[in-house]
Amino acid sequence: MKRVMFVCKKNSRRSQMAEGFTKVFGKNKVAVTSSGLASSQVDPIVVQVMAEVGIDVSEQVSKPLSDFQPEDYDVVISLCGCGVNLPKPWILREVFEDWQLDDPEGQSIDVFRQVREEIRDRVLGLLSALD
């Protein structure tokens, strides 16, 4: 079973959505965690837009990357272009990708939905590639 880490700046929006989708679509195929360069809190709008597509992320919490060890993960995905700021061991995993998705913070709910759909599509692509 592949172990996937999604990393973002604050682990409050994009990485939380990616974790939620991966838990559902990758169930029994991958183990998934998300974290941030700094921890924050899960954005309530993320909880709302994920619930709209039947995925409950209300129990997920924001976690700092420093709580984890890179060798515990096979796949590391940066969602914010922050890959350049990650310590080198995180970038040197079996799979490393930097998706560089827009942060919906402070935007309308429609922007959150657009980002959600892009993350869903990318997660499905990632899971397909890992099969």
Residues acting as catalytic residues: 8, 80
Structure tokens at 85: 């700021």
DSSP string, 52-113: HTT---TT----BGGGS-GGG-SEEEESSSGGGGS-HHHHTSSEEEE--PPP-TTS-HHHHH
Residue environment code for 52-81, b if the CB has 16+ CB neighbours within 10 A, otherwise e = eeebebeebebbebeeeebeebbbbbbbbe
* Total residue count of the chain as it appears in this document: 131
